[in-house]
Chains A and B, each alone.
Chain A
Amino acid sequence: MNKQNQLAEIHHSGKPYIIYKSKKGFNLFTNFSKKIILNNKNIKSFLKKKYKNKTKNTDLFIGFFGYEILNNLINIRIPKQKNIGFPKGIFYKPEKIINLSNDLKYSSSKIFLNSEFKININKNSYKKIFDKFKKKIKSGETYQIKICTKYKTKSKIDPLDFFSRLSKTNLAPEAFMIKDNNYSIISCSPENLITKKGSLITTKPIAGTVKKNKKMNKTKALYYFKKNLKETKEHNMIVDMERNDLSRICKVGSVKLSRAKVVEEYKDLFHYVSLIKGKIKKNINNIDIIKAMMPGGSVIGCPKLSTLNLLNKQEKENRNIYTGSFGYIKFNGDMRFNIIIRSILNFKNFSEISVASGVVVDSNSNHEFNENYIKAKALIDLFK
């Protein structure tokens, strides 16, 4: 039986599975022997647990941390918000991993249903929030803050159909999909937050995006970013913040900016990216790493703690998975996590897509509001 048939078969069998982008294609994780639903009580023991067997490729937990639990982990409380009752985090222990190629051949016979997407913050209220945060920047309470908007629709979809179509148009390096009995997530995240192998750890923040077209090639994109003071300043800030977060857990002198401000090319756009490396100190545990790095700074703003507090006071609706992290922790301590952006959460017959863009002192409300829409559009278009 070929592997693509295997994918369809697993999908139709109804058993939960996860797909995660690998270097050459995708990995499919399934036959879950354990499922841990995280809460504020069990997350610490989950992250501190040590394992005896660590040699098999299935000796790992794969899943996600939502935004709220990552806040709680660093002692940031979130005021009461509108909530759909989605779990704060879920991890699975797979017993089987299958390698798949980049070409996920699958087409659904089922027709999906949805109504119009509704946005939770309209242009006027967005501008009000924007102006309020700009004042906070002027008074120095934050240097950069990302306003999140959420698009929602009633829906019934086949997640694998969506994911295979999405990966045809946008093969993102941190793409993933989770299909479980009562929910699914489809994501084309481009951003890696943690790659840890042995004592070496890297993070690869993205700050700066420009659309590809006939006039915009890679060289011109680099010129655009370098010339654009706003993009440059935002990026600089994220680089220093990520250096800081790595410095919490890395040896003195080991944190290095190994690739500074380079352009990476994707199917429809260019990203402005840096790569920062470090060597983990002795006696640092998984939980220390998660607490130092998450939630990933590039999608929050800077400085992290005061900015999170400003956001949480403002936002009326739970972010659920958005700006959380998906990935795996191997039993030997190696890990890989992304930042959950450009994702669709399907739960209780609703689909939600959250997006955010940055307020710095010289950004413009209209521009950022539209930027949010552009980011959501690629995913909303899948529903057509």
Chain B
Amino acid sequence: MIYIIDHNDSFTHNVVHQFSLYDEVECDNYNAISDSKLKKASVIIFSPGPGNPKNYPSSSKIYKKFKGKKKIIGICLGFQQILFCEGAKIVEQKKIYHGFQSNIQVVNNKSLFKKGKKFKVGRYHSLKLKEPFQIRNFEITMRCLESKAAMAFENKKDKIYGFQFHPESFLTINGNLLIKKILSA
């Protein structure tokens, strides 16, 4: 079972439908999380959402508790949430991407995806990862072709994955394939 933690977003149910193509999905609001569902889940997903990772201490707690024990995936705010828990700084960016379709590229040969491969993706983020960023086992695997901002990370050892863009958006081409590959990793 996949357990999606919803941060009050207007895109979370697109995520629910996307992941439901591959497994049973449960979804609860971040302030109404069930311990038994957390225990039962094989994958935990941190949804997109408004605001800053520091606004969601309960999600940080869940991440720290289950890191290395279950597969964890973060999308948009969820991507930032995981990096924030690992000590990264999440900062405002000059150019803001809301409802924006960008070209991104796989930039790392440690990725599940082939280095050099390009994707068209939908973005909805005000904040971004502050770089340089270096944490053991975490690799930045995709970047925006234009701004070079970090668009995905992978941690193969602990099976932790994050996307700054929205694989569930209609603006993302072949988003389902991305999810399928991450889930079967």
Contacts and interface: CB of A to CB of B under 8 A. Distances in A.
Q: Do they bind each other?
A: yes
Contacts of B99: 143-144, 232-237, 240
B174 to A, nearest CB: 16
Interface string B87-126: 0000010001011110000000000000000000010111
A141 B9 CA distance: 11
A361 B92 CA distance: 13
B49 interface: yes
B146 to A, nearest CB: 13
Contacts of B14: 240, 243-244, 247
A226 interface: no
A248 interface: yes
Nearest to A229: B100
B34 interface: no
A70 to B, nearest CB: 15
A237 B124 contact: yes
Interface residues of B, number: 31
A306 to B, nearest CB: 4
Residue of B50, B77, B127 most packed against chain A (CB within 10 A): B50
Interface stretch (A149-157, A296-304, A317-325): A296-304
A143 B98 contact: yes
A241 B98 CA distance: 12
B56 interface: no
A143 B17 contact: no
A304 B92 CA distance: 21
A84 interface: no
B20 A252 contact: yes
A233 B98 CA distance: 6
A257 interface: yes
Interface of B: 8-14, 16-17, 20-21, 49-52, 77, 92, 96, 98-101, 122, 124-127, 166, 169-171
A210 interface: no
Contacts, number: 100
Contacts of B12: 244
A253 interface: yes
Given A236-B122, A237-B124, A240-B166, A140 B52 contact: yes
Given A236-B99, A257-B170, 7 more contacts: A143-B50, A237-B99, A240-B122, A240-B170, A304-B10, A306-B51, A361-B126
A49 to B, nearest CB: 27
Nearest to B124: A143
10 contacts: A137-B96, A137-B98, A140-B92, A143-B124, A143-B126, A235-B99, A252-B17, A253-B20, A303-B11, A306-B8
Interface in A240-288: 240-241, 243-245, 247-248, 252-253, 255, 257, 260
B11 A240 contact: yes
